[in-house]
Amino acid sequence: MDFAILADAFNKMESTRKRLELTQYLVELFEKTPQEVIARIVYLLQGKLRPDFEGVELGVAEKLAIRAISKSSGIPIKKIEEEYRIGGDLGHAASVILEQKTQTTFLVEDITVERVYETLFKIAKLEGARSQDMKMKYISSLLNDANPLEASFILKILLGTLRLGVAENTVMDALAIAFSGNKENRKVLEHAYNVSSDLGKVAETISEKGIEGVEKFEVILFNPVRPMLADRVKSQEESVERLGNNFAAEYKLDGERVQLHVEGDKVVLYSRSLENISSYYPDIIEKIPKSIQADNAILEAEAVAINENTGEFLPFQELMHRRRKYKIEKAVTQYPITVNFFDILFCNDKSCLDLSYKERREKLEKIVKEDEYAKHIPMAIVNNENDVEEFLENSINAGSEGLMLKMLDKPYQAGSRGSYWLKLKREYQNELGDSLDLVVIGGFFGKGRRTGSYGTLLLATYDEDVDMFTSICKVGTGFSDEDLDQLYQILQPKVTIKKNPRIESEMEADVWFEPELVIEVVASEITLSPIHKAARDQVRKDAGLALRFPKFTGKIRTEKMAEDASTNEEVISLYKGQKKVAHDKSLI
């Protein structure tokens, strides 16, 4: 196929941003395209050579392109740079320069889409010492035979500056119209694209076998599936409104999403954007096969950096130290992780996408054997706002970002942000200005490496009116290893068999303490709580106040008596102050 046809279509597309017109130009182009080249055309339209997950990168630098233009036109580099500065687009600059040249030379041969594509592919694959020279030779040989318009598009593809404004959806609309005569068939194409992540392959199939061929697309091992995404909710109330009274809540861990394709000892890892990230995680490749009890599987997990001593989840930034090309072995030991599985998309040669969440979770738990390294993401079935709030608190205390809420009876919707998954994240917008001194009333045993300490503490305010200690929050973040040791030493002798009658708490702790020790915490916000007892009924009937996302500041206030702790009155005034700030802000 003549490259001129493609250059002409690109040229028309560049001149409009109207979706209908773009679709029309695409339909006309596809109708002229032979079956054998349509996949290549679809990749080129998107400025690519292959689907993203194959990692074929063009990566040509401007300097090199300028040298190639100079070589093929005989015009000095300085002049080309000048032209480039005027227009700001090297593709355009090349067409202006070559316009001057074509007046004096003959075109040697017509260039075809196949030839351009093969040459670009060779350029992308070149590596090593002499690769720059070779790349330049390839580019200038193409430019020699290209007319100015063709040259400008070849350069734009090479430099990654082709901006046709065609979204994947527009390409699919045009494919549906061109090859099935019906735009409605886009849905079928979308499904095929979502399970294969390869729009070129979808185009080739519809052009060769029609829409029936596309209907047969299925999940394939070692070919990534486009991930399902979640919508956002702002509160527990909204979650229940949208999901009803029986759904799953999972910890939303703050790591990297990894799609694992496993068969025997072979493991390939894809990122959320479908990049092959296997080389960053040699530990996953080595350790995971023994945890998978199936012949083959595609699984989704969150890889999370952990503190090896406490087992605590660490923020995403820690994990980014893994993103390096060299000395990866060192990074593996320096930044240990756990792999926390949350979904299964394929198992024993069969797709699991159409199974309900509940069925997939059951399968996942059966197939992934847990150990120190491979985990099932913590999950609870929740029925109301209180359940969500309690699980949210637990998750934040464990160092996670919030919750993912999932409908139990829904399938896996590859590639779409639907309403079957919702994310409830912590927000730090309303940072509480003040710290609070709170009484430690209960403790929860640490999990994993935190055994032998209290991983999480239950805290209370002092209610002067009735001389009671009222629960206000659980706290599990902000503790260093030394803090945990020290607190254990101090709290151990204060353990009581029965809850002290001066403690008011609906939440059950693993152990109760004499209400004596005071520690300092900060929090993002004070919220109404159906569970906690601080200032119960004083701001709103049947609600107490609670701290949202509390964090230990590192200060154990041994100089304070429990009765010196922050009082409910203080907390109410902080709560009202915070409302006033929000109100004042909305007036500005």
List residues with catalytic annotation: 252
Residue among 11 and 271 whose Cβ is closer to ligand AMP: 271
Of 229 and 543, the one with the shorter C-beta distance to ligand AMP is: 229
User: DSSP character for 325?
Assistant: S
Q: Which of the stretches 10-18, 42-50, 193-201, 247-255 binds ligand AMP when contact is defined by CB under 6 A?
A: 247-255
Whole-number minimum distance, CB 449 to ligand AMP, in Å?
21
Question: If binding is defined by CB under 6 A, does position 298 make contact with ligand AMP?
Answer: no
What tokens appear for 159 in the block?
Answer: 């430099």
Residues 131-160 that bind ligand AMP (CB under 6 A): none
User: Does residue 358 bind ligand AMP (CB under 6 A)?
Assistant: no
318 sits near ligand AMP (criterion: CB under 6 A): no
Closer Cβ to ligand AMP, 417 or 580, answer by number = 417
Question: Of 230 and 332, which CB lies nearer to ligand AMP in the complex structure?
Answer: 230
Q: How far is the CB of 402 from ligand AMP (least distance, A)?
A: 9
Q: Where are the alpha helices (DSSP H) in 2-146?
A: 3-14, 19-32, 35-45, 62-73, 77-87, 90-102, 113-125, 131-145
- Rounded to a whole number of angstroms, the minimum distance from the CB of residue 273 to ligand AMP is 10
**CB contact set of 309 (below 8 Å; sequence gap of 6+):** 449, 481
Q: Return d(Cα 469, Cα 66) in angstroms, integer.
A: 75
Rule CB under 6 A: say whether 252 interacts with ligand AMP: yes
Residue 514's CB: how many other CB atoms inside 10 A?
A: 17
341 binds ligand AMP (CB under 6 A): no
CB of 423 or CB of 447, closer to ligand AMP: 423
Q: For residues 124 and 119, what is the distance between their CA atoms, to the nearest angstrom?
A: 9
Q: How far apart are CA 459 and CA 480, in angstroms?
A: 18
**Helices 113-125 and 148-159, axial angle in degrees (round to 10):** 30
Using CB positions, name the residue nearest to ligand AMP: 257
- Give the nearer residue to ligand AMP in terms of CB position, either 230 or 511: 230
Nearest approach in angstroms of CB 112 to ligand AMP is 41
Residue 226 near ligand AMP by CB under 6 A: no
Phi, psi of 236, rounded to the nearest 5 degrees: -60, -40
257 near ligand AMP (CB under 6 A): yes
- Residues contacting residue 167 through CB under 8 Å, at least 6 positions apart: none
| Using rule CB under 6 A, residue 519 touches ligand AMP | no
Which backbone phi and psi does 193 adopt, to 5 degrees?
A: -65, -40
- CA 572, distance to chain mean position in Å, is 38
CA-to-CA distance for 361 and 342, rounded, in angstroms? 7
In the complex with ligand AMP, the residue whose CB is nearer, 150 or 250, is 250
Q: Which of 8, 173, 204, 250 binds ligand AMP (CB under 6 A)?
A: 250
Indicate whether 247 belongs to the interface with ligand AMP (CB under 6 A).
no
Tokens of 189: 């194409």
Residue 306 sits at the vertex; the CA angle it makes with 304 and 311, to the nearest 5 degrees, is: 125
Considering only the stretches 61-69, 250-258, 434-442, 454-462, report the one whose residues sit in contact with ligand AMP under the rule CB under 6 A. 250-258
Task: Please say which residue, 80 or 424, places its beta carbon nearer to ligand AMP.
Answer: 424
Q: Is 391 helix (H, G, I), strand (E, B) or coil?
A: helix
Q: Is the C-alpha dihedral spanning 277, 133, 6, 162 positive or negative?
A: positive
Side-chain half-sphere CA neighbours of 300 within 13 A = 22
User: Is residue 447 a contact point for ligand AMP (CB under 6 A)?
Assistant: no
**404 contributes a contact to ligand AMP by CB under 6 A:** yes
Is position 6 an interface residue for ligand AMP (rule: CB under 6 A)? Answer: no
> Cα(306)–Cα(313) distance, rounded to whole angstroms?
5
Return the residues of window 78-117 that contact ligand AMP according to CB under 6 A. Answer: none
Q: Does residue 571 contact residue 545 with C-beta atoms inside 8 Å?
A: yes
Please identify which residue in 117, 247, 313, 342 interacts with ligand AMP, judged by CB under 6 A. 342
Stretches 142-150, 212-220, 249-257, 502-510: which one binds ligand AMP (CB under 6 A)?
249-257
Could you tell me which of 586, 574, 509, 582 has the C-alpha nearest to residue 535?
574
Q: Is 460 in the site for ligand AMP (CB under 6 A)?
A: no
Of residues 42 and 377, the one with the C-beta less far from ligand AMP: 377
Applying CB under 6 A, the span of 28-36, 81-89, 246-254, 499-507 interacting with ligand AMP comes to: 246-254
User: What residues have CB less than 8 Å from 10, skipping those under 6 apart?
Assistant: 153, 162, 164
Q: What are phi and psi of 554, to 5 degrees?
A: 100, -5
CB of 18 to ligand AMP, least distance (A): 31
422 binds ligand AMP (CB under 6 A): no
Counting residues that bind ligand AMP (by CB under 6 A) gives: 11
Distance (Å, whole) CA 307 – CA 337: 8
Q: How many Å apart are CA 214 and CA 208, to the nearest integer? A: 10
Q: Is 272 near ligand AMP (CB under 6 A)?
A: yes
| Footprint of ligand AMP (CB under 6 A) | 230, 250, 252-253, 257, 272, 302, 342, 377, 404, 423
